[in-house]
Amino acid sequence: MNERMWERIGAASGLLSAALLAAAVLVLPSTGGVGSTAAMIRYFADYSVQVRVSLLLVLLAMVVFLWFVGHLRHVLQRAEGGAEAFSPVVLGAGVALSAVGLLSVVPGGALAYLAQGPQSMMAGDVARSLIGARMFSGAALELLIALFTGAAGLAMVRRELAGRWLGWFGLAVAVIGLIAGVATAMTITVSTFATVMSLLTFATFVLWLATASVVMVVRPEVERTPAERSVFAH
């Protein structure tokens, strides 16, 4: 199997990850404006099975996403000619994003599990702590999305990867993710603004990930001309 085919497989892993993330959201019933702790507890109790299916899809998506991150590291390292400017940041942010994504399902999984037991298990500080952990893990994910798409977007704007228009798209996703992460981390209870920004971050990230993957599948980076100059050239 030649390098062109391997690159297409690596790029396609991003598309598969995006599809799994989209499915993870679509399988969940609407929260209907859930805001209070009690309402959220009822949501997990009523839709325990759907929540667990969604969490499984997220786990699979984050594992596949690691392959895509490795693919980006490979093509960026080659494009940068050993300068190691954006490729280490993309790799570190991508691995951290995947790791936090894997850990972020723990609070929701625990809530879905407790919902199947006596109602007393879902009451009190335990449920509130799990809901709080779920919110803060969401904030961490949004900030890591901002770092990952920002670094990859800058590399694209510099014509080291894919296209400049995709780079500007990635930078826009990074700004949205940064605002969402700060808003989510600063809210004590669920707020409409933080919820909307979180959904917008997720939707734009999945769209950017799928688009970048398709672009790199259609035209593998090995076919592109090398970067005009090293990132740190004088």
Residue 94 has pLDDT above 90, yes or no: yes
pLDDT at 227 over 80: no
Is pLDDT at 127 greater than 90 in this prediction? Answer: no
Tokens of 94: 């991508």
Q: Which residue has the higher pLDDT, 187 or 76?
A: 76
Res. 23: pLDDT tops 60: yes
Report the C-alpha gap between 203 and 25 in whole angstroms: 10
Q: Which residues contact 20 (CB under 8 A, 6 or more apart)?
A: 57, 58, 60, 61, 64
Backbone angles phi, psi at 155, to 5 degrees: -65, -40
For 27, the token pair is: 């399988």
Do 17 and 65 contact (CB within 8 A), yes or no?
yes
Q: Which amino acid type is present at position 224?
A: R
Q: Angle, to 10 degrees, between the axis of helix 3-26 and the axis of helix 192-218?
A: 150
* Residue 214, number of CB atoms within 10 A of its CB: 16
pLDDT at residue 205 is higher than 90: yes
* Mean pLDDT across the chain: 84
pLDDT at 204: 97
Task: Write down the pLDDT at residue 117.
Answer: 64
Mean pLDDT of 208-220: 92
In angstroms, the CA 213 to CA 162 distance is 9
Percentage of the chain with pLDDT > 70?
A: 84
Q: Where are the alpha helices (DSSP H) in 187-231?
A: 192-218
Tokens of 19: 């599809």
State residue 230's pLDDT score.
42
pLDDT of the residue at 89: 93
User: Would you state the structure tokens that stand for residue 63, as one six-digit string?
Assistant: 């594992």
Domain boundaries, the chain: 3-222
Three-state SS string over 40-75 comes to HHHHHHHCHHHHHHHHHHHHHHHHHHHHHHHHHHHH
Contact 160, 230 (CB under 8 A): no
How far is 165 from 224, CA to CA, in rounded Å? Answer: 16
Q: What is the pLDDT of residue 228?
A: 42
